[in-house]
């Protein structure tokens, strides 16, 4: 379930189709993130937030442009003329200070959300289309969502798992252990 907490900070509509998902780290709690996104003075937002316990919040509707990435600054993502990071993306902000140290529940919820958005908007679920904020701004956001960007490879891998690929039943008591193992692959 995704809780709805509207942010006033967005541009109505989109000028470009959704092509990428940009993952961020909040450097704080889900509560402080929500307070920032709903504060009339902040002028920042993201489409979604994902908490440590797997909570998912939608702040800006996908059909609108959230204000989450700013302008490119030595990006590694190949933006085309007329594209801005916000205009072609869905932004997901994650609670915490380093996504590579996120709890399993948060990684699972994030992967589930990424998988859902990729399916809904026909976004290829790969590292060329699931990027970190540091790939938009490699200068002042170099640790967003983590100094270790291999966590994004793991998110993509988990997001690609389909029911057809999984044919084994895992007891609920062992799910966390199996997820920790998968994150190490």
Q: Show the beta-strand stretches assigned E in 51-161.
A: 56-58, 65-66, 89-94, 130-132
pTM greater than the 0.75 cutoff = yes
Domain total of the chain: 1
Q: Which residue segment(s) compose the domain that 115 sits in?
A: 2-184
Strand partners, 21: 90, 130
pLDDT in tens, the chain (185 residues): 999 999 999 999 998 999 999 999 998 999 999 999 999 999 999 999 999 999 999 999 999 999 999 899 999 999 998 899 999 999 999 999 999 999 999 999 999 999 999 999 999 999 999 999 999 999 999 999 999 999 999 999 999 976 554 445 666 676 676 666 666 65
* pLDDT computed for residue 180 by the predictor: 67
* pLDDT computed for residue 87 by the predictor: 95
* pLDDT computed for residue 141 by the predictor: 93
CATH number, residue 21: 3.40.80.10
* pLDDT computed for residue 16 by the predictor: 92
d(CA 33, CA 24) in angstroms, rounded, equals 11
CB atoms within 10 A of CB 117: 20
* pLDDT computed for residue 176 by the predictor: 72
């Amino acid at each position: 379930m995704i809780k709805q907490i509207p942010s006033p900070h967005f541009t109505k509509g989109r000028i470009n189709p959704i092509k990428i998902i940009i993952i961020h780290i909040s450097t704080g709690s889900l509560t402080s993130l929500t307070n920032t996104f709903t504060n009339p003075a902040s002028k920042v937002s993201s489409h979604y937030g994902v908490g440590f316990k797997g909570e998912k919040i939608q702040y800006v509707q996908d059909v609108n442009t959230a204000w989450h990435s700013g302008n490119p600054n030595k990006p590694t993502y190949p933006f085309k003329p007329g594209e801005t990071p916000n205009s072609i993306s869905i932004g997901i902000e994650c609670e915490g200070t380093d996504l590579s140290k996120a709890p399993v529940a948060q990684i699972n919820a994030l992967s589930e959300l990424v998988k859902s958005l990729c399916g809904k908007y026909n976004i290829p679920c790969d590292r060329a289309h699931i990027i970190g904020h540091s790939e938009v701004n490699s200068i002042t956001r170099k640790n967003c969502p983590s100094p270790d960007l291999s966590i994004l490879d793991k998110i993509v891998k988990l997001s690609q798992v389909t029911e057809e690929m999984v044919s084994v039943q895992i007891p609920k008591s062992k799910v966390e252990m199996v997820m920790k193992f998968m994150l190490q692959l």
